[in-house]
Structure formats: C-alpha cells, structure tokens
Amino acid sequence: MNNTLQDGSGQMFDRICERYDFLNRVMSLGIDGRWRKRAVQALGSDVGYVLDLATGTADVAIEVARRIPNSRVLGLDPSDGMLRVGQRKVEKAGLANRVTFKKGDGQRIAASDDAFDAAIMAFGIRNVARRERCLRELGRVVRPGGPVVVLELSEPRGGHPLAFGAGLWKRYVVPRLGSALSSTPEYAYLERSIRAFPRPDEFLELMATCGLRGGKAEPLTFGAATLFTARAP
C-alpha cells in the first residue's frame, strides 16, 4: 500500500475537501491552527511574495496575508476541490486581492527561478512521492537566502506521559475517528503516511542534500508535528 500520493493528482483530497477543515480541528483537538501560526512566524516579516505549496484549503495562505503586512501569496495545489474551498475562504476573508491560486504539482513548480521571497509548505511534503525533487524545486523558486519552511506531522517522542498519549491518539483514534466522520477510509492513510515519513534528523539531511542551507527542526507538541526551517541556496 502506498503511503504517498504517487501522481500528485490530489484526487484523495478532492474527495474530502468539504470536510477537511472540520476533520483537522477535531482530530488535532484544535492544535493545528497554532502549528500553522508558528510556521508562518518562522517566515519572518521581511517577505513580499510567498509561495504556499500544497495550500489545500488555504489556512496557511490566509495566515500569511493576515500576519505579514504587504505580503502577497500564491497558493499551489493539485486538488481542484481543495482550491475551490480555499478560494471561497479567501473571498470571505476579503483577501482575494492578495491571495491567488494555481493548480500545480510541487515536483514541477510552474514558476521561474527566484520568483518568490519565501516558501512554506504545511502538511504537504508527506503526500509528495518525489520529495527530493519537491525540495529542490522549493530551493529553485525562492530567491537566494530566502526562507523555506516545512511543517509536517511526526511521531510524538520523549518520555512525557502526554507524548505517549499523543502517540496513542494518533495511532488508534485519528484513523477511526477520521474514517467515521468523513465516511471514507482515507484517514487510515494518514496514520500510515506519518509512520512512513523520515525522522526529523533524516529529513534535515534530505533538505541539505537538496541544497537548502542551515536546516533546523523544532518539535511542536511533543513532536506530534515538526517545524523545519532552512534557506534557499
């Protein structure tokens, strides 16, 4: 069974797009919003044009536009359904003049070299089959030295009882609750794909191999998510 969406077509996300935000809030107990805010902070304030890769329903794109004055965001995603929901939210937030969308694949980003001041990708890299190619693309389209921020779910770590609890929640509750609430089996995939994702130190190595400089990994909520920050070559 594959743990990534091999074709980057976003078909799985087309099926769950209308329930995606609700399911996220329930299954992360509302913590996912805090993680995205932390990731957007890591971009700094000195960025104008930002790529939100795997933008999905645009929570990160909206946060960037709200928090970083004068920023403009391009949200890129292969799923028509997720982009449709994202567009709706951006219009409702009155940000349609600063957040635009494009259908596309992170493994072949349709943008010229150094087109963006920064890039961010939240909970997306796990779904990409050729991660190395995607990371190289992020380094290519961001201007030299610009921030590249990747937020991803990970295996909770450490001896704290809450880390243990978070591990159990993710392994046993998330797939069942997700499948029940969404009436699809897609959420079993979520648990498998987190388990199959490289450890933070391994992922940092991959970022470095792809030319991204000064990589750092910060565990969030006992390592239930990890924030990776680096700079474009």
Residue nearest to ligand SAM (CB): 56
Q: Which of 59, 63, 152, 155 binds ligand SAM (CB under 6 A)?
A: 59
Q: Which of 82, 111, 207, 230 binds ligand SAM (CB under 6 A)?
A: 82
Residue 29-48 contact track with ligand SAM, rule CB under 6 A, x = bound = -------x------------
Instruction: Choose between 10 and 178: whose C-beta lies nearer to ligand SAM.
Output: 10
Rounded to a whole number of angstroms, the minimum distance from the CB of residue 9 to ligand SAM is 7
The side-by-side arrangement of strands in the sheet containing 213-220 is 99-103, 72-77, 49-53, 118-122, 147-153, 225-231, 213-220
Rounded to a whole number of angstroms, the minimum distance from the CB of residue 170 to ligand SAM is 14
What phi and psi values does residue 229 have, to the nearest 5 degrees? -125, 140
In total, the chain counts a number of residues equal to 233
**Which 130-189 positions form the footprint of ligand SAM (CB under 6 A)?**
none
From the list 141, 152, 129, the residue with the least C-alpha distance to 102 is 141
- By the rule CB under 6 A, 55 interacts with ligand SAM: yes
Window of 65-73, 76-84, 155-163, 219-227 that interacts with ligand SAM by CB under 6 A: 76-84
Q: Which of 23, 50, 65, 79 binds ligand SAM (CB under 6 A)?
A: 79
**Which 2-31 positions form the footprint of ligand SAM (CB under 6 A)?**
5, 8, 10, 13
- By the rule CB under 6 A, 78 interacts with ligand SAM: yes
Instruction: Choose between 189 and 222: whose C-beta lies nearer to ligand SAM.
Output: 189
Rounded to a whole number of angstroms, the minimum distance from the CB of residue 161 to ligand SAM is 28
**Which 97-126 positions form the footprint of ligand SAM (CB under 6 A)?**
105-107, 122-124
What residue ranges bind ligand SAM (CB under 6 A)?
5, 8, 10, 13, 36, 53-56, 59-60, 77-79, 82, 105-107, 122-124, 127-128
